[in-house]
Amino acid sequence: MRTLHSILAAAALAVAGFEATVQAQEKPEEKPPANIWQAAEKGDIEAIKGFLAKDNKIDDQNKDGYSILHIAVRSGQAAVAEFALANGADINLRSNSKKTPLHYTAQYNQLALAKLLVAAKADLAAKDKKGRTALDLATGEAKLEMAQYLRDAGVMSKNDEAAAESIFVAAKIGSIDAIKKHLEAGVDVNAKNKGGYTALHLAAKKGHV
């Protein structure tokens, strides 16, 4: 004769089995990546290798101009980014909006990937369609660490470049007040113009020192 305990135990097992069956039925079967860019977004390096073994190249771009390196840095897939770079991906390839992978690390606040690209010699002066550098995209309180890192790495913003140019003009005309304001604003006194001259050199050439 079955005891109450055994009946309850059997009922519990039946319920658990039913719930597991329902969950299995409700969970959709994950489809494999349809293309190399989906594989990059998912972080599926084996799938990427499969696509490369067929028709794809490492720098193939989708309709938005994204290569797998662009997508990897946008979505935080560090392993995919490292794989792409190790296999010859163009670190400065432009998307349709003329953004390089470094631009996207700033836009999506992917600091570790920004460090990876800077170490791999990404173009720090690259500008997108709107003339923005990566630093210009690192705006907002959430990106303070990113912005500071990019500045320390040597990336300039549009405003920095404009200020750097204007200090040379101030030096040529001997405007001490203007030069002081530039320095107070943080413009690098040792910055050089396209001719390789600092503001001090230009001031000296014009007899202002």
pLDDT of the residue at 65: 98
Say if residues 91 and 85 touch (Cβ distance below 8 Å). yes
Query: How many other CB atoms are there within 10 angstroms of residue 135's CB atom?
Result: 26
pLDDT of the residue at 158: 76
For the chain, report the end-to-end CA distance as a whole number of angstroms.
Answer: 109
Chain-wide mean pLDDT for the chain?
83
Nearest CA among 130, 135, 127, 118 for reference residue 94:
127
pLDDT of the residue at 113: 99
pLDDT at 18 over 90: no
pLDDT of the residue at 67: 99
pLDDT category of residue 195 using cuts at 50, 70 and 90: confident
pLDDT at 53 over 80: yes
Nearest CA among 111, 164, 107 for reference residue 132:
107
Distance CA 7, CA 99 (A): 66
Distance CA 39, CA 42 (A): 5
Tokens 């432009």 sit on residue: 94
- Give the pLDDT confidence of 112-127 residue by residue, as tens digits: 999 999 999 999 999 9
- Give the pLDDT confidence of 70-107 residue by residue, as tens digits: 999 999 999 999 999 999 999 999 999 999 999 999 99
pLDDT of the residue at 204: 74
Percent above pLDDT 70 for the chain: 71
Q: Which domains are seen in the chain, by residue range? A: 36-156 (1.25.40.20), 159-205 (1.25.40.20)
Distance of CA 181 to the CA centre of its chain: 33
pLDDT at 135 over 80: yes
Q: Which of 42-46, 82-86, 200-204 has the lowest mean pLDDT?
A: 200-204
